[in-house]
Structure 1
Amino acid sequence: MADTEGTTSEAKGPGAFRKFAWIRIIVGILIIGVMLWGAGVVLGYFKKPASIQVAGKSHNSAESGALASAAEPSGPPPAEDHRATDHGTADSADAVHGEQTTGHDAPVHDDTASTQGKQGSSEHGVAAQGKPASSHGKTVSAGLGAEGAAGHAASGSHGAAGDEQFVEQANGVAFVSAVIEPLRYELSDRFWGWRPNDVITLGDNVINFQLGVLEVTRRAAIQLSDRISRTSSTSKLETELQNAMNWFMVKPNQYWFPSPETKYIDSLDQLEAYRERLISGDASFFARTDNLLPLLAAFVDLLGSCDENLVKTEEKTGEPVSFYKADNYFFYAKGVASAMHPILEAIMVDFQTVLVRRDGTELMHHAIENLDRARHINPWVITDAASSGILANHRANMAAPISHAMVYLYTLMKTLET
């Protein structure tokens, strides 16, 4: 009897051990997977682009700088009649914004333009730059190297604090830099790089964020190639901009032949080549109302799509928006806001004459502020609770600044059309 029981226990021993081992192996794999996913989210998402950090700091410094220049009794009026300064050194207003105009024969504008220039300066700190229209010559901007990361937007509208080197800025450089930098960060500087075409993914938050950045870049590249770089519809297309526009259309989740990372980087290189030609004077950038309106319309359409996804409660199939879809909509909208924000700041620089003439500076400023709010909504966990629930509804939180930015841009369009 004892021998029989011993034999049975020995027979069961190997099977029980295998079951014991497999359970622990599977649990260990799951734990490692969760740890890797958590590390990817923390390191990949919470590391902000340098361009975004610079823009946030320079925005605050610009507002304090505007107050300082207004309180300075010895400084001349801030770009009151858009005259170029006759002194070799920067005055107090120029020291705040890091810019001064060159030349001594700039034409004097009338009193109406002077009043509008003051209003634009108080709203966003741009009129004090003394930046004339493209026909009045070029401006000198502080701290904007052709390859500088901060040059994507803040360099033109706010100046680069702490950098005393003055370099010449051609019209359009701020806009092209603003188009380049957000996607350049996602491709080259983001932890784990471009993720939509990864075989193994650690969450989809960054994936949707990057898709939002890509869509804004695509729409800006289309308008830059088709309109802003040309005098009319019969003008020659810029080769670099054509290549960039076409290569941006490669599917973001395509694995190879060609890989999207390669083509997107090539597109950004083409935009940089066009930017270099702007600096050298071999390329054109036409900051006109009829060129700005289609770009604003494209942005309004994109923000409207994001707003619809953020506020809807049901999908087209009639099913309620799932928990897994809610965070996709949230991070896509955040990517759109993060890429559109520096472009609108660059528009404040390169299209300043158009905005001031039509009193559109304040509307653009409000749109920029709301996009800045949207891109800084940064919850650890996305919840999609009921409107009257205890937990937050982060889609609704994101929808508020997105819809406000859309309304301000739409109102700006109508203002420019009249």
Structure 2
Amino acid sequence: MVLRVLTLSTLFPDQTRPNFGVFVERQTRELAGREGTDVTVIAPIGIAPWPLSALAPYRTLRALPDKEQWQRMTVYRPRFPLIPKIGGRFHVRMMTRAILPLVRRLHEQQPFDVIDASFFYPDGPVAANIARALAIPFSVKARGADIHYWGRTPATRSAVLRAGREATGLLAVSEAMKRSMVALGMDADKIDVHYTGVDLDRFIPTDRPAAKAARHLSGPVVLCVGALIERKGQELLIRALPQLPDVTLLLAGAGPEATHYTRLAEDLGVSTRVGMLGAVAHAELPALFNAADIMALPSASEGLANAWVEALACGTPIVISDVGGARELVTNDTAGRIVERTPDAIAEAIRALLLSPPDREATRSAALRFTWQANGDALFAHLTKLAGKPL
């Protein structure tokens, strides 16, 4: 028996964006590596109309191959037109129109058994359109902003709900995300919780003083890994720094708030203790987590952030807000602290962990159940069931 899966993902890395959707890629690679499974990836790329299409980053995206082998998977990258910032409501229609002819042709050559959509918007509604055209089942996974933002935005809410209603099965990155999906109007009986994975052979505790020395760091270090956007809460960390006079804060990530955060650090007199690292390659994160005494990410919303799990796997406790699956991960003080989204609460939690750091192996134990093997087992079982095939 062969399970033929069409994975549809607007979150998938390419040569120009190696960190983009890296967790979707790792999950898909785990599935594709299983005996008796054949996975084809459709990773649509949105391109703005001319003359914007001649500018970066669209110019580099246009140069990507339409089809390539990526980590032993066949990946198709059809283009669809998009209107930057304001065109989200049109993505489903534009994507469907762009990729349906390709999917029909592939399906005629070798029929797919099931569609695996890795994000709820626009992937979910597009998967619903394709599944209807091919008369096959489909699944959609909710990860965070796809429900918390697109599921609540008036222009896209109905499309998200339609995908949830028509899907044969659904996945959620945490129990908390499942509750959010149900609150939005989705059927709880169709939703399986599907936790992320972490490479426990790469994300391991190493010598912290040596990791700091390699980056020319000394004293207490707090690391934040996440895009520099308002929702991730880096501003709260910067505002907490005046209460933490010996602490260095490292911000690993890129985004539109970078200039604002740099100016804020200057205004607060802490700029010499804030390191703006920009986008960091995923392969460099284990060393960075090991150089930090604490990983802090006070987001306004999350599903179950991969950075939380990776930090814990390195024996680095986390300070996070009470969002998404936070309470499914931080079940005791050895994993870190769950705090209110205020500079005072964040500073207090960081001080407490620095004064009494938990045993690093005890911290790592919180991440040990989040393996890619378990992630792949659950995804394979979910899709096999939807396709009506025996396990």
Indicate whether the TM-score tops 0.5.
Answer: no
Return the structure number with greater strand share: 2
Structure in which a larger fraction of residues adopt helix: 1
